[in-house]
Amino acid sequence: MAEAERIIGTPDTPDAAGDGQERPEAEQERTPEQAPERPRAKRRVAVLFAVAVVAYLLDLGSKMLVVAKLEHHEPIEIIGDWLRLAAIRNAGAAFGFGEAFTIIFTVIAAAVIVVIARLARKLRSLPWAIALGLLLGGALGNLTDRIFRAPGVFEGAVVDFIAPKHFAVFNLADSAIVCGGILIVILSFRGLDPDGTVHKD
């Protein structure tokens, strides 16, 4: 009897374990490789929204301060006449362009926010998270003005106040958008995709 059991094999031996015991072992082998992906993605999305929130709050706070303290007052000179703070209302796009298309720019800003939110699901790159966060925060900042400021919903004028000499007046949201856009161009030239893969043309 003992000899027969030795030849056939007992259930405790690896050969006789069958599929019921091999599958969990195979799953355990795959888990260490797959597990880091989700936490990594969550961290990148957290960075994106953290950057967006900081950019948005800085823009919102600066505009509230400008409206309360600077609007209808003389400009404040920071570096002579080379850099001044001067409150203006801008119905156009960034840096005062296209004032006749306020509603169109509002729709574009809303579309940018939706695209960034969808792209965040496959985000794995930290630089891309920062770039998209800047874009998101800037777009939200100016979109808030479009919705809530005069002359009406979706037609509101954006508050601009940073006035360099020989240049258009802009705000912190515009700066965040431009910085995010420049960073995206750099990342694209370097071949880095939002999902973290690197390719060379």
Of 160, 193, 195, 201, the catalytic one is 160
Omega before residue 151 within 30° of 0, cis: yes
Of 12, 59, 81, 174, the catalytic one is 174
β-bridge mates for residue 89, sequence order: 159
Give the residue from 107, 169, 177, 149 showing the smallest Cα distance to 158. 149
Q: Is 145 a catalytic residue?
A: no
Q: Is 174 a catalytic residue?
A: yes
- Tokens 């030849």, residue? 7
Within the chain, where are the H helices?
Answer: 2-8, 19-34, 37-69, 102-119, 126-148, 172-189
* Residues catalogued as catalytic: 160, 174
